Each structure stands twice: as structure tokens, then as C-alpha cells.
């Protein structure tokens, strides 16, 4: 028996469960993955040789495809990863062949506030620490490949400044004439580092680089991570990497990684990351891990490749998208599914009573400060706040309905939740004809998720009427306005002059027509202001800049004050992490 | 049969050899490593569970301990890794149970000029590409753990600036009052990036960090890498990490990673890197890989842990230290061996005729420019240049003799080398009573290294009179002067006022007495000026700064113009690296 979650931290439960986990070879065998298709990393983690495996299974029928999303979360999160794993365990308990796909945690939030994304309580994936801390190195591969492009760019700029055309020619280089004021890319690092948001590089002497402004973003927001989420084969990976625009020349020509002759080396660095990872839930179901979080500032989806494999090998495959349905699900729906051609069957919408109460709370109610305990007001019963907060849930239901998918609402139950509150939510949803599961997977594992699993199995029997919010024939500016109104609930969109100028240039060029819109916006509100709770009304979405990811084929409108580099808080998680000298293991993750 | 090295690039030879390499399980079994002591990374690479393995074998007798060093290298290198592997293969051919320890290549030189450090021709380790490109992630672990200290530092400085004592106290923080002008650490990245040598961070608004000067060094020069090279157990790893001084307070108190409450998390990130890696030579001998290069700007040694394991499991264990004997061997001798307590038996001194000719060349002879082909003058026969260049070899012999070790000179033979030249070198050494092997391991593998292997086996029969250059009772300033005179051949040492001030403060404190001297100096000359060839005379070593690594217990005098961050050249290697879409493999490394 595993310890009771109420009296035991997640990492200790994981350590107990790890004492009897399956070897990776057994896990793979049960999943019908052959030994030669497996690249073990120790005894409990493996990468899948995707090319080998997929070419063998590509004609299998697809299983049912379930997407897990959430209402607008508090800074504590709604437990989407926990629910993804809990549902997988619940389906397993019902005797179904099932897998899930989650994203590799970034060390930024891990070391800062949010902790691991391995799930919690009795719904976790293991080995937890190895998964949470570096894992098989995919984020490092993205970081290094990304930064290599910047090495190529900055050294090229320096050599072009210091050498004549003749010398450059001798060394096989043509002058690219890069404009230091129009460098698009920054550097990346997999931590939350406010001090690297805005920097000046290339100080010093003639050999120390060109002096210019630069920046570090968090590694998971790299265009390379978006590419990793979206590609289906190696050829596409290489092609997309070579199309990344790093800067512009003084005459306005885009400078790609291919122009810098660095795209091959970047692809080489990304090669191991191309293969998805395999671990298990604490109840022994397979968990694919591929790509990374941050649906607010990036695409933030588990990869298409992981889903393709999961669907071919299982009756049910559960996948995850980041934050609320306004950002994570919208991107899953209109970007990831459009790119993959896969059709999901059911969406699970996760909510917690604490978040519903937060969204319906009085104006002077306490703030939720990451790192501090949750104020008791959101734990205690409060029917008025809950009732008002249902508007947020209702809005997210409306968002998902536009996609044509069947919905199952999942209340991720806490011990403090009262019957009266839970009954209220249940009734609210049932009146709309939406099944709602009060799920105790955190406390009880798969056994606590049986109601959720049953509702999902039922919902999978419906015919999916899945369709996109817009067609790619719609101009980009109209797509942004559509998402703002239909998804976020804004009255209208205001573009900064810079953003508008860029959008007009994009609209005029045919090459961009199949580029997807991937808005960067806070996840803490439906609006672009993280302080506005519930369903904000009478507001305008402000787009301050437009990024163009030529390789990922994304147009990224940047909304409000959102930054691609989070900061580390004054009460960071890294304070609690340590190594136990007796066991040689990491504690506190 | 493997392809002929003269007509085939290294990576293609490696690909051929990889078709019939042993599985990592077979390799481990032959080495007497048990399955539960092995952490496989795929089928041909593993980490060793050092704690498990060493506790079982610690009472085995040690094998013979051979160190490979070189004369002052040209920018092309003398082939030390190639010779280390070639000698291991040669000893294998003689039926000896043998392993070697090499260092994980840094992506900096790999992507820049030097290429892989996997050896070359028919003396290589495999799988070559995986070894060269990221491998099992040790350098990434060092980079991330190092940068996490900087995240903790910069965010703490910001929070202390923005919050009152009362708020800090509420969050469990005391005011450290860090002086932005006395931050000791920089950030690290595993590339050569001149543009990040000198930067300003923390620009922007009140939430974007404290504005201050900062820098990026290459990851392999991190204090954490030195610690990884020098520790013998986990307890020491953790203790040394927690002693790293990141900055000083405004009142002059050192601020450690422990003060920043980040040392536990840094240890957690370093934990996988603590275990050494295992691969094989193309002839099937075990190769341990641990720690990283750069004996010029760092300690640059294969780890003590790797050597401890290799010595316990084999009759012969060959290890490697960076660059010429003046820097790599001196650090092996007086730092690594003093720390490990291990006594080496024989030193192999590697030289190439091209380097000897380079050191004896006329003043107006062509420069060697990395990335360009070697000028033909150094390939063609030139007895006069060779004769004059022997002074450099003689100087390195004198250095090693001071340690009391037996010496075997190894000429790493090229096809263009003439009999007359080779005979001259042989005679020169034999007149001093030093065995010299003309070794063809590059062209012929272990078979070509039999003479070298036999001389080494013979030399191992001598009683080793190994002793240190100085005792730790000698003041640091005198140790620096001793190394300058006795090892580098300088007349004297000039200290900058800054360096002198720091040294006087160090000399006055007892806590520093067992800190080792680890001089950062160019590897391209015995002097601190990379342009001076041969054996420079009548010169003064200039020490411009003193770094203190409290965790690694190193005092690092910085000589001449050396920078801890190399630059990327205009003809970088990354241009030739790519991914083959047919095979899914990396090409060109």
C-alpha cells in the first residue's frame, strides 16, 4: 500500500511506488514495443526509436483520443497533469489499454514556484525525480541548439565587421550584412531569470563581439520547442530548423540558420530529442513524455509524435495541453490538430472548487501569492463565491463546444470540498447536459477516477463533430480578432503601431497563409490582464508585438505585458531540494 | 576490416566500427561490472553506479597508472586522446587487462575548430557521435547547476532591493546585502561565444533585475567541473558545492551557494554527472569518460573517480591530462594526484614532428591558423627546424623528470614523417636514456602501438619515485613563482596590483593553506604569450588576476591575456555537421 497523500509529500509517495515499478523492458513489451525500438536510459526510462517503431505500426487503427484542459487556473494550477495521469490510471482499472502523453517539466518553474509536473498524490508518473530534473536531456538539446544559432549569428557579425570581403571569401563566407538592430532571436536558458530579460552583449574590445541589445527567454519558449511539438518526421524537423529566421540584413532580407550554415549542426543537437520518452504511472500504465510546457508564451503542447505513437498502440490515449482552454486547448485545437490531422474524441475540462471560488470572490478578497499558502477563504465553503465563479467554467465549456468535441467536466476533488458545493457544480453541469465527475484520483489513484473514466468511455462513443475555429483562408488579423472575441471574450483588439505594421506586411505575403496564430497571453485570466478574474467584460485585447517563427510556421501576437522570461520569486522551490547522502537520492521534488 | 585512415574521415571509420561494437552489457561483464552497477544509456553507452561499484571493489589492488601528456601543442593538438586510446588498444593487443579515462568533449571546440576529442584514425572511442555531441549530459548538468547559482544570486539581489527587511523576514530570508561590484561568478554556456565575454544584465524596469556587469565563461571552466574532477565521494561533492563563493557582501563577507539556499538543488542537478560514463575503443577496450577538457583555463583532467574505478578493475589504466606537460601534467601531478592520493607509474610524452618543426621554425615562418590547412612547411622535411624544436621536447622531459616518474616519449607518426627525421628524434631521446616509440596507432590501431605498449609495460616495472613539486606549507605566492621558474622556464613573476593584493590576503588566512595553485595560462606556449614558440627565454610571467574557487579549493592565478571564454572562428566546424535523412544519423563529427 502506498502512503496516504494527505499526510505524505508527493516525492515520498513516488519513492514508495518506485520500489515496485516495472522495468522499462516489461513496460515496453506490454505496450507492444520491440526491444530494438527501445533506447533505455537506465532501467525505468527509455526513449522510443520513433522512426523504427512508427514505420512498423503506422497502419494500426488509432485509439480514442482524449484531450485534458482546464478552466482559468490559479497560480497553483488546476491539477491537469494529475488528472491526465489519474484518468489514465482509471481507464487502466477498467481494463482498457491506455497511454497518456505529458510534457517534460521545465527547470524554470520546478526551481521556482510550481514544482514538478509529474502529477501528485496517487496520480503521478515515476521515476518522479529523474523525470522532473533534466530527464533524458530534451530541453537541454533545445537550449543548446537554439544558442548555437546565436553563436553562429554573433560570431558571423563580428567576423564581417573585422574582415574584408576578400578574406571572408577566402574562408568561404559571403557578407550577410546583418542589422544589429533587427536581430529577432534571443538566447535561451531553462530557468526563470528576470535579470537576463534585457541585456547588452559584445562589450569589451575588437575581438569581443558586436555591442548590441539582446535577451534571454526561457528555453521552453524557443521556436525549436514549438518545432519539436509539431513535426511528424525527421525530414520536417530538419527543414523547419533550417527555415528559422534569426535576424534581418540591413537591406531587410531574412537571415536564416541555413544562411549561417548552422542548421545541420542544430539538427544534429536536436536528434536525440526527436525521439519521445517513455515512463509509467504509479499504477503501471505507459506515459509518453515529449516537448514542454508554457502554453501562455509558447505552444505548450505534448508532441504530435507522442500522440501518434500512443494512438497507434492503445485503445485510449490521453494527452495534455497547458493552462486554461482559452490558451492551451485553443492551440491544441487550431494549431496542433490542424498540423497533425488527428481528430480528438473527447475533451476533459478540469476545475477545482478553490479556483471557482477564486473567480467568484469579492473584489477585496485576498490575492493568491505563489510560494505562500492558499488563503483560507478559498478553502472554506462559500456558496456565493462558487456560484459567481461558475461563469468561468461556463465560458470554458462554451469554448470547447465551438470545437464540436464532447465534454466531460472533472472536479479535481480536495478533502476540504463540501458536499453542498460539489452538488451545486454537478447540478449546474448536468442542467447543460454535460457529465461531471467528482474525481478523487489525487487521493485514491485510478480507483478514485472510475467515474471520470466511465464518463470518458461513454463520451467516446459519440460521433465527434470536430472542426476548426477558422480556416487558413481567413487573414491573420481577422483570426486574431476572432480568437479575441470568440475565445477570450474581448470586445475588440487594439494593435500597437509596431504590431499593426508587422501584421500588414504578413497579410500581404502569400508565404504566411499557412502560418498558424499562436497568441502569447497570460494564463491567469481570460483577458490579457492577469488580475482580472472570472469572465472579464468590456475589455480590449492589446497586442503589443508580433513575432514570426518561420521554422515553426507560427505568427505569435504578444498580448498585454506578458514576458517570454518569467522571474524567480522570493520563495523559490530550490530552497527545499537536496541530496540525501545515505540513499544517494534527491529529496524534495 | 576498417577503412584506411588516410582516405577516410574519422567519423566514417567510427560508423564502420560501430557496426560490430560490443553491447554495453558485454563490455561491462568483461570488465567485472555487475548488471545492477550499470545504468545503460542505449545499448552502447552506460553510466556506472559509482557508489555501488566502488564499495564492492575498493579492496582490489590498483593496476599500473599511466598518464599521457604532450609537448607544447600547435592549435591542431598533438593527438593525446588518440595516443591514450591507441596505447590502450596496444596494451589490449598484448593481452593486458586495460582501460583508459578520457574527458567528455566540450561543444565549444567541437562546434568551433578542434572537432571531437574521440581520438582519430584507427584509435578512437565509439559510439563517436553520441560521445561527441552531448553524450549523457554531464556538461549540461554542470552548466545548469552553475547557472542556477546565478539565478539564485540575481533574484535574491532584486528581492532585497525591492522588499523591506520585514517582508524578507516573512519569507524566511535574511538580508545578505550583496555587492553588485563584487560578484565573483559569471554564467556559463558550452560554446565559444566572444559576444558574451563582457555583458550588462538587469536592464529594464524594477522587476527586471539589478543592472550590473556580468559575463559568460565556457561551461567546462566552471568551478563545478573542477569539483567533479576532484571529488572522491558524494559527501565531498555536496560539501564542496555548498562552499562555492558566488559574491561578496558590501561589508566583505563571502556569499556562498549555501547562503543562497541553492546548494542542495545544485547538488541534485549534479547527481547524474557524478557517475562516470563507460564506452569502448574501436578494438573493444573499456573507456571511462568523466569531467572535461581545458587545462589552460581550468583543471582539465579526467576525474579522480574514473581513475579510481579503472585502476581497481584493470592491470593497466591510462589517463589523460590536457595540452602540454607545463599545464596539464603539472595540474595532474600537483593537484589531482595530491587530492586522490594515487601514485602514477609512467608518463607518456606525446610529440609530433610537425609541432617540433613548428617550435624550431624561422621567425618569418607561416602561422598556423585554426580552420586553415597546416602550411606545407611543417609537413616537409626540415632537419634544421626539427633540431631546434627538440628544445621544447627536452623542456617537457625535464618537467616530468621533476615528478620522479619514468618517461616514455611517443612520436605520434604521420605519413609524411621521414625516416631521417624520426631517427634523429629517436637518437636524441635514447642518448638521454629515454625510450621513444614511433607509434602508428592512428594508421594501424593497437597493432601500430605495440612498441609504445611494450615500452610502457617495461617502464611500469621501475620503482616510481613520484613526489610533488612543492609541499602545501609553501606560501601560495612562492608556489606560483616556483611553477613559473621550474615548469614554465620564466625568469620571474610580475603580479598586477590587484593580483598581489588578493594574494596577500590569501596568504594571511590559514583556511587557504590546502588550496591548490591552478594557473590559467595559454597552452600554445610555455610562456604566457601564445606567439612565443620553442622554449622562450628571458621572460616574466604576468599574473593579472587571482580567482578563488572555495568549493574546488583552488587558487587560480590568471596569466597574460588568457580568457575563460574562447571565441568562435570564422571557419567553424559546425558548418560541416549535418543529419543524414536516410540513416537518421549525424554526419561530419
How far CA B67 is from CA of A266, B64, B317, B322, in Å, comes to 35, 10, 9, 11
Contacts of B582 in chain A (CB under 8 A): none
- Contacts of residue A260, Cβ cutoff 8 Å, sequence gap at least 6: A149, A152, A153, A156, A176, A246
User: Is B1's Cβ below 8 Å from some Cβ in A?
Assistant: no
C-alpha cell, B417:
614523417
C-alpha cell, B398:
625535464
Residue A261, by phi and psi: left (phi above 0), alpha (psi -120 to 50) or beta? left
Q: Name the DSSP class of A325.
A: I
| pLDDT digits 0-9 by tens, A360-394 | 999 889 988 877 788 999 999 999 999 999 999 99
| B269 to chain A, closest Cα gap in Å | 7
- Contacts of residue A518, Cβ cutoff 8 Å, sequence gap at least 6: A226, A298, A299, A331, A335, A549, A554, A555, A556
Cα angle A280, A283, A289 (rounded to 5 degrees) comes to 20
Q: Is the pLDDT of residue B417 over 90?
A: yes
Task: Please report the sign of the dihedral spanned by the C-alpha atoms of residue B456, residue B459, residue B463, residue B469.
Answer: negative
User: Is A562's Cβ below 8 Å from some Cβ in B?
Assistant: no
Please determine, for the modelled complex, whether the ipTM score is greater than 0.90: yes
How far CA A19 is from CA of A2, A205, A585, B143, in Å, comes to 11, 57, 13, 31
Q: Helix B383-401 crosses helix B419-431 at what angle (to 10 degrees)? A: 30
| B335 to chain A, closest Cα gap in Å | 26
Residue of B nearest to A571 (CA): B171
Task: For A233-248, give one letter per residue: b (16+ CB within 10 A) or e.
Answer: ebeebbbbbbbbbbbb
| pLDDT digits 0-9 by tens, A175-203 | 999 999 999 999 999 999 999 999 999 99
User: What's the pLDDT at B518?
Assistant: 95
Alpha-helical (H) ranges within B432-527 are: 441-444, 450-459, 476-482, 497-507
Confirm whether B114 is a catalytic residue.
yes
| pLDDT digits 0-9 by tens, B151-193 | 999 999 999 999 999 999 998 999 999 999 999 999 999 999 9
What is the band of A223 on the pLDDT scale with cuts at 50, 70, 90?
Answer: very high
Phi and psi torsions of B64, nearest 5°: -75, 140
User: Is A14's Cβ below 8 Å from some Cβ in B?
Assistant: no
User: What's the pLDDT at A178?
Assistant: 98
| pLDDT digits 0-9 by tens, A295-313 | 788 888 999 999 999 999 9
A-interface mutation test, from B164, B218, B574, most A Cβ less than 10 A away: B574
User: What's the pLDDT at A35?
Assistant: 95
Of A129, A172, A208, the CB nearest to B198: A208
Beta bridge partners of A495: A543
User: What's the pLDDT at A130?
Assistant: 94
| pLDDT digits 0-9 by tens, A547-576 | 999 999 999 999 988 888 999 999 899 999
Of A41, A199, A576, the CB nearest to B200: A199
What is the 3 state secondary structure string of A229-261? HHCCCHHHHHHHHHCCEEEEECCCCEEECCCCC
User: What's the pLDDT at A354?
Assistant: 95
For the whole model, what pTM was predicted? 0.96
Residue of B nearest to A563 (CA): B208
Confirm whether B51 is a catalytic residue.
no
C-alpha cell, A336:
496542433
User: What's the pLDDT at B116?
Assistant: 77
User: Chain A to chain B, count of Cβ pairs less than 8 Å apart?
Assistant: 252
**Are residues B421 and B390 in contact, defined by beta-carbon separation less than 8 angstroms?**
no
User: What's the pLDDT at A373?
Assistant: 84
Residue of A nearest to B149 (CA): A574
What is the band of B322 on the pLDDT scale with cuts at 50, 70, 90?
Answer: confident
| B137 to chain A, closest Cα gap in Å | 7
**Are residues B528 and B559 in contact, defined by beta-carbon separation less than 8 angstroms?**
yes
As a whole number of angstroms, the distance between CA A460 and CA A65 comes to: 8
Beta bridge partners of B347: B67, B407
How far CA A41 is from CA of A444, A584, B167, B267, B274, in Å, comes to 30, 18, 44, 21, 16
CB atoms within 10 A of CB A362: 10
How far CA B460 is from CA of A367, B301, B346, B469, in Å, comes to 72, 22, 6, 21
Residue of B nearest to A273 (CA): B134
What is the band of A585 on the pLDDT scale with cuts at 50, 70, 90?
Answer: very high
Contacts of B150 in chain A (CB under 8 A): 193
Phi and psi torsions of A9, nearest 5°: -65, 155
Q: How many Å is the Cα radius of gyration of chain A? A: 24
Of A51, A159, A202, the CB nearest to B584: A51
CA nearest B98: which of B48, B64, B122? Answer: B64
- Residue where the block lists cell 465534454: A407
Q: Is B77 annotated as a binding residue?
A: yes
Asked which of A32-36, A160-164, B117-121, B245-249 is least confident by mean pLDDT, the reply is B117-121
Domains and CATH numbers, chain A: 5-134+273-459 (3.40.50.300), 138-261 (3.30.1510.10), 476-559 (3.10.410.10)
User: Is A370's Cβ below 8 Å from some Cβ in B?
Assistant: no
Q: Is A367 annotated as a binding residue?
A: no
As a whole number of angstroms, the distance between CA B304 and CA B307 comes to: 5
Q: Do B581 and A264 touch (CB under 8 A)?
A: no
Q: Do B234 and A144 touch (CB under 8 A)?
A: no
User: Is B195's Cβ below 8 Å from some Cβ in A?
Assistant: yes
What is the band of B464 on the pLDDT scale with cuts at 50, 70, 90?
Answer: confident
Q: Is B256 annotated as a binding residue?
A: no
For residues B574 and A77, the model is more confident at B574
User: What's the pLDDT at A139?
Assistant: 97
Contacts of B163 in chain A (CB under 8 A): 570
Q: Helix A223-230 crosses helix A234-242 at what angle (to 10 degrees)? A: 150
Q: Name the DSSP class of A512.
A: G
C-alpha cell, A573:
522551490
Q: Is the pLDDT of residue B368 over 90?
A: no
Residues 139-168 in A contacting B (C-alpha not used; CB under 8 Å): 140-141, 144, 147-148, 150-152, 154-155, 157-159, 163, 167-168
| A456 to chain B, closest Cα gap in Å | 37
Q: Do B268 and A235 touch (CB under 8 A)?
A: no
User: What's the pLDDT at A368?
Assistant: 86
| A409 to chain B, closest Cα gap in Å | 37
| pLDDT digits 0-9 by tens, B73-118 | 998 888 899 999 999 999 999 999 999 999 999 999 999 986 678 9
Q: Do A41 and B40 touch (CB under 8 A)?
A: yes
C-alpha cell, A299:
505552444
3-state secondary structure of B59: coil
As a whole number of angstroms, the distance between CA B34 and CA A588 comes to: 30
Confirm whether A80 is a catalytic residue.
yes
Q: Is B78 annotated as a binding residue?
A: yes
Of B51, B141, B147, the CB nearest to A191: B147
User: What's the pLDDT at B551?
Assistant: 97
Confirm whether B332 is a catalytic residue.
no
Residue of A nearest to B150 (CA): A193
When the pLDDT of each residue in chain B is averaged and rounded to a whole number, the result is: 95
What is the band of B297 on the pLDDT scale with cuts at 50, 70, 90?
Answer: confident
Q: Is the pLDDT of residue B293 over 90?
A: no
What is the band of B560 on the pLDDT scale with cuts at 50, 70, 90?
Answer: confident
Q: Is the pLDDT of residue B463 over 90?
A: no
As a whole number of angstroms, the distance between CA A346 and CA A61 comes to: 18
User: What's the pLDDT at B7?
Assistant: 87
How far CA A165 is from CA of A152, A154, A171, A177, B14, in Å, comes to 18, 18, 10, 11, 38
Q: Is A80 annotated as a binding residue?
A: yes
Indicate which residue of B226, B247, B295, B325 is catalytic. Answer: B295
Contacts of A193 in chain B (CB under 8 A): 150-151, 154-155, 209
As a whole number of angstroms, the distance between CA A396 and CA A544 comes to: 25
User: Is B35's Cβ below 8 Å from some Cβ in A?
Assistant: no
User: What's the pLDDT at A294?
Assistant: 81
% of chain B at pLDDT higher than 90? 89
Indicate which residue of B80, B240, B479, B553 is catalytic. Answer: B80
Indicate which residue of A323, A332, A539, A549 is catalytic. Answer: A323
Q: Do A204 and B197 touch (CB under 8 A)?
A: yes
How far CA A38 is from CA of A46, A139, B59, B272, in Å, comes to 6, 20, 37, 21
CA nearest A200: which of B208, B153, B185, B195? Answer: B195
User: Is A41's Cβ below 8 Å from some Cβ in B?
Assistant: yes
Of B147, B574, B581, the CB nearest to A152: B574
Q: Is B274 annotated as a binding residue?
A: no
Amino acid at each position: 500500500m502506498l502512503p496516504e497523500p494527505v499526510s505524505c509529500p508527493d516525492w515520498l509517495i513516488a519513492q514508495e511506488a518506485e520500489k515496485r515499478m516495472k522495468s522499462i523492458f516489461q513496460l515496453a513489451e506490454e505496450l507492444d514495443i520491440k526491444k530494438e525500438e527501445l533506447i533505455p536510459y537506465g532501467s525505468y526510462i527509455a526513449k522510443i526509436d520513433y522512426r523504427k517503431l512508427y514505420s512498423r505500426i503506422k497502419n494500426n487503427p488509432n485509439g480514442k483520443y482524449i484531450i485534458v484542459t482546464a478552466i482559468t487556473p490559479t497560480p497553483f494550477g488546476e491539477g491537469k497533469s494529475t488528472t491526465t495521469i489519474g484518468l489514465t490510471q482509471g481507464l487502466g482499472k477498467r481494463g482498457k489499454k491506455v497511454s497518456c502523453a505529458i510534457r517534460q517539466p521545465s527547470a524554470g518553474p520546478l526551481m521556482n514556484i510550481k514544482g514538478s509536473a509529474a502529477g501528485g498524490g496517487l496520480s503521478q508518473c515515476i521515476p518522479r525525480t529523474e523525470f522532473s530534473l533534466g530527464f533524458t536531456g530534451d530541453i537541454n538539446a533545445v537550449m543548446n541548439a537554439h544558442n548555437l544559432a546565436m553563436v553562429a549569428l554573433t560570431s558571423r557579425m563580428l567576423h564581417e565587421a573585422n574582415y574584408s570581403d576578400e578574406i571572408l571569401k577566402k574562408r568561404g563566407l559571403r557578407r550577410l550584412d546583418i542589422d544589429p538592430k533587427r536581430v529577432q532571436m534571443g538566447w535561451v536558458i531553462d530557468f526563470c531569470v528576470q535579470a537576463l530579460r534585457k541585456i547588452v552583449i559584445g562589450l569589451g574590445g575588437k575581438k569581443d563581439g558586436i555591442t548590441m541589445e539582446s535577451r534571454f527567454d526561457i528555453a521552453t519558449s524557443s521556436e525549436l520547442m514549438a518545432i519539436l511539438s509539431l513535426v511528424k518526421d525527421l525530414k520536417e524537423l530538419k527543414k523547419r530548423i533550417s527555415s528559422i529566421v534569426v535576424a534581418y540584413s540591413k537591406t531587410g532580407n531574412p537571415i536564416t540558420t541555413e544562411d549561417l550554415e548552422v542548421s545541420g549542426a542544430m539538427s544534429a543537437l536536436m536528434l536525440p530529442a526527436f525521439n519521445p520518452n517513455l515512463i509509467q504511472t504509479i499504477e503501471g500504465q505507459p506515459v509518453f513524455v515529449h516537448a514542454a510546457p508554457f502554453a501562455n508564451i509558447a505552444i505548450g503542447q505534448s508532441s504530435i509524435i507522442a500522440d501518434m505513437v500512443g494512438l497507434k498502440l492503445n485503445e485510449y490515449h490521453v494527452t495534455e495541453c497547458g493552462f486554461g482552454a482559452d490558451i492551451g486547448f485553443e492551440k491544441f485545437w487550431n494549431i496542433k490538430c490542424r498540423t497533425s490531422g488527428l481528430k480528438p474524441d473527447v475533451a476533459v475540462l478540469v476545475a477545482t472548487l478553490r479556483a471557482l471560488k477564486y473567480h467568484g470572490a469579492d473584489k477585496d478578497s485576498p490575492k493568491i501569492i505563489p510560494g505562500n499558502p492558499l488563503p483560507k477563504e478559498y478553502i472554506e465553503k462559500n456558496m456565493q463565491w462558487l456560484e459567481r465563479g461558475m461563469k468561468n467554467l461556463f465560458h470554458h465549456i462554451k469554448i470547447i463546444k465551438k470545437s464540436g468535441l464532447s465534454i466531460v467536466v472533472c472536479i479535481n476533488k480536495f478533502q476540504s470540498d463540501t458536499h453542498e458545493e460539489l452538488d451545486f457544480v454537478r447540478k449546474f453541469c448536468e442542467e447543460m447536459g454535460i457529465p461531471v465527475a467528482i474525481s478523487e484520483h489525487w487521493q485514491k489513484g485510478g480507483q478514485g477516477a472510475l467515474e471520470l473514466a466511465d464518463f470518458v468511455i461513454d463520451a467516446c462513443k459519440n460521433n465527434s463533430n470536430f472542426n476548426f475555429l477558422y480556416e487558413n483562408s481567413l487573414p491573420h488579423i481577422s483570426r486574431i480578432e476572432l480568437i479575441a472575441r470568440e475565445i477570450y471574450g474581448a470586445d475588440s483588439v487594439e494593435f500597437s503601431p509596431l504590431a499593426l505594421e508587422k501584421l500588414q506586411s504578413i497579410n500581404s505575403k502569400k508565404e504566411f497563409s499557412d502560418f498558424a496564430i499562436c497568441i502569447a497571453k497570460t494564463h491567469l485570466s481570460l483577458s490579457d490582464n492577469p488580475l482580472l478574474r472570472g469572465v472579464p467584460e468590456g475589455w480590449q485585447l492589446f497586442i503589443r508585438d508580433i513575432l514570426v517563427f518561420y521554422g515553426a510556421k507560427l505568427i505569435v501576437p504578444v498580448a498585454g505585458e506578458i514576458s517570454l522570461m518569467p522571474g524567480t520569486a522570493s520563495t523559490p522551490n530550490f530552497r527545499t531540494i537536496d541530496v540525501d547522502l545515505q540513499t544517494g537520492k534527491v529529496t524534495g521534488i
